[in-house]
Structure 1
């Protein structure tokens, strides 16, 4: 069977660096044990509960999936170019690009975690908005980093209680670059006008000692004892270090309070520049036999999808964002953008997988778990997961020992194949279900 063609990237000076970093040829998705992608060694086992049959349905048009850009607009725009969906008018990251013919025919699904890490949250959001403004078909999925900002800002608007007093500090140090960017964007603004004293700001933003005493009783029945202990440990570290990290970025607690209030206007008010960001966000998207989401599923979500359908799931997500934030953040809905299938996460068992498969879903496509050798296929209780967080942002890449800016995209094509493109793997990986059937 001939291998699919790689996306066409226009021969333009703006694309030269991107073209030079991308693979030139395709290979079948590696299967052999000990390969660069050895996660597939169990996929061909007869005991694997995979649905690799003729019942797979493919999207009607190509789906371009890009996830976890983490405030790196250059990596985001380079990935759009790598998909063949856009052409640059200027350097990547400038927000100056237009759709190609292929981009007009495709659907772009952005897998969440657009915020945090850097180098520029604001330019990343503007680049994403530019994608909408081109007339592209865009679906934006909720990521844990994105929603932590929303919950932190919303918690400031609510009467403080045990369930929400920790949500601002829970954003942690990763939100500080965004606050610094917002501060620097208006150097002439009198930021401290009307801002209360430092102790008052501290009490409004950070959990006090009494919160650590009350939280176990409040969370019991929602979290496991192990989950409660994990949350207390995490919050102790974040609360104790938050001001120190802010001061390292040149902001005292009063300035942080002022900037956070301004972020409420930017993100939560209809006239705010980034109000569209949370407004357009969805939890899940299904195309053909593929379910797109940020992280993964558990049994309760599998049952809900099978029983009520994805429209109901997204409606419940939108409603939950306006309700009790504590109940939402530790629920199955939020597990969808948080899980890494750890012991502390809500479980996915064979029962959940059977429910998901009964609704016609054969594979999950998600981000959240960064990979350093391109996209990976993996199994969770026999359910196929396509892990497509290919470490785009330069902050994460430095931590992982990777060079430069990341670049790549995952394309699910109507011609019954998946193409995984990454500048960190020498070939574009090609997956076809029939290939795996033959191997089995």
Structure 2
């Protein structure tokens, strides 16, 4: 073990795990290692890029830190147990039972702010259980900020497209959600649909299928309609995606025990529960924000581009969040392909809205030094990177069981990113042996991997 300072271990929050729950979390703290191998994806950056970007950020003057601790938890993907364990791991909650609501907030939990970084839905064991635990966290008095993720948006926009006039830009938005949304539809059907009444007035199987599919002409009319919104490469990608999804969508639903009529009934009920202002889960989208800023940190689900950077520097986060509420309830495809939704879906690919040095200058000019986000899942805890000179803290640590199993990770994901008012940033994950400590104003950096 190298470069471990035992005095740092006190930064790990006090934990009180439910009896019988194995604690696989780190008990020691180490300065954040920056020269580990480059992440195995196309948008990773070398340590030298990060260090030079950090030097540029520090040259702008002192950082501004949150007035109270912030705990960032992202991409829980319908895994309530992972969320609850992460609340325990960060010292926010003490669990006294197995139930979704069987926890109380600690003194730290009442004093901090919890930022849920988006992608609460899809994939793992139960969407509705996850929402129940999240609502319990809010109802128990936690200062909670809920950010929109791309998976969350896809449900909202897919449901909205069912009730809209079918056109070349919106007719595909429901089936575009693909098989990942089907477990939620199955949950809603089993728990909220009454087959005797909710299916009574629905049309036959084939008509219900047509209500959810874009139609044969869509593949010819979509490219022309989408040309002002997407680059040619992105249009081709969308067409290929839809060809695959339309071929398998109803078979995937059938594999879960849903006929086309039952799926359509579930979708209509889901729209009632989530989109109707008085629905049981209306609070989920009513609480949602696009961005959250605290001091020098900007919290988003995925990333940022030049247009949103300029808008943030001119108008601030409140204006962006107001715009998000309006536009996300308007034409689904136009919104999802635009710069605002790019905050929830970018991976800085060529098909995404670009971030350049000009956008970074706009962010620096309004005091934003670093983005904290999820969306790009990591297998060894949180990572630090730089994009065009902008610092990024990547905090999707692969929490949900579905992703972990498919990506070769054991157990239930647990962890959180804790940002303290003194500038100390602590990354805790069950997949890394130490809690990683980083303070951008104090360059106590590890220059070699830990052994």
- Shared topology, TM-score over 0.5? yes
Q: Secondary structure at the match of 1:342?
A: coil
Residue 102 of structure 1 pairs with residue 108 of structure 2:
yes
Cα pair distance change 1:439/1:125, threshold 3 Å: closer
Equivalent position of 1:85 in the other structure? 92
CA–CA separation in structure 2 for the residues paired with 1:246 and 1:390: 29
Pair 1:144 & 2:150 matched: yes
User: Structure 2 length as normaliser, TM-score?
Assistant: 0.93
Match of 1:6 among 3, 8, 12: 12
1:57-72 alignment, distance < 5 Å: 57-72=64-79
Q: Does 1:51 align with 2:57?
A: yes
Answer yes or no: is 1:279 the counterpart of 2:286.
yes
TM-score with structure 1 setting the length: 0.95
Determine if contact 1:52/1:436 at 8 Å carries over to the other structure.
Answer: no
Equivalence for 1:25: 28
In structure 2, do the counterparts of structure 1 residues 188 and 156 end up closer, same or farther at CA, with 3 Å as the change threshold?
closer
Instruction: Encode CA deviations 1:339-385: one digit per residue, 9 max, x unaligned.
Output: 00011101000001111111100100000000000000011001010
State whether structure 2 residue 140 is matched by structure 1 residue 121. no
> Where does residue 253 of structure 2 map in the other structure?
246
* 1:350–1:15 CA distance, 2 compared to 1 (3 A): farther
Structure 2 residue ranges without an equivalent (≥5): none
Across the aligned residues of Structure 1 and Structure 2, the Cα RMSD in angstroms comes to 2.0
1:230 corresponding residue in structure 2 = 237
The answer on whether the counterparts of 1:362 and 1:384 sit within 8 Å (CA) in structure 2 is: yes
Which residue is equivalent to 1:342?
Answer: 349
CA contact (8 A) 1:15 1:88 kept: no
Of the candidates 149, 157, 163, which is equivalent to residue 163 of structure 2?
157
Q: What is the match of residue 317 of structure 2?
A: 310
Structure 1: gaps spanning 5 or more residues: none
Mapped to 2, the partners of 1:375 and 1:195 lie a distance apart of 48
- 1:243-273 CA distances to partner (integer Å, 9 max, x unpaired)? 1100111111111001111111111123311
Q: How many residues align?
A: 436
Matched, 1:401 2:405: no
Distance 1:139 1:237 in 2: 36
In 1, Cα distance between the equivalents of 2:250 and 2:397? 32
Cα pair distance change 1:284/1:229, threshold 3 Å: same
Measure, in 1, the Cα distance between the counterparts of 2:218 and 2:273. 29
1:427 to 414, 420, 434: 434
2:188 is aligned with 1:182: yes
Aligned to 2:275: 268
* Aligned-pair CA distance for 1:439: 8.5
The alpha carbon displacement at 1:323 in A equals 1.6
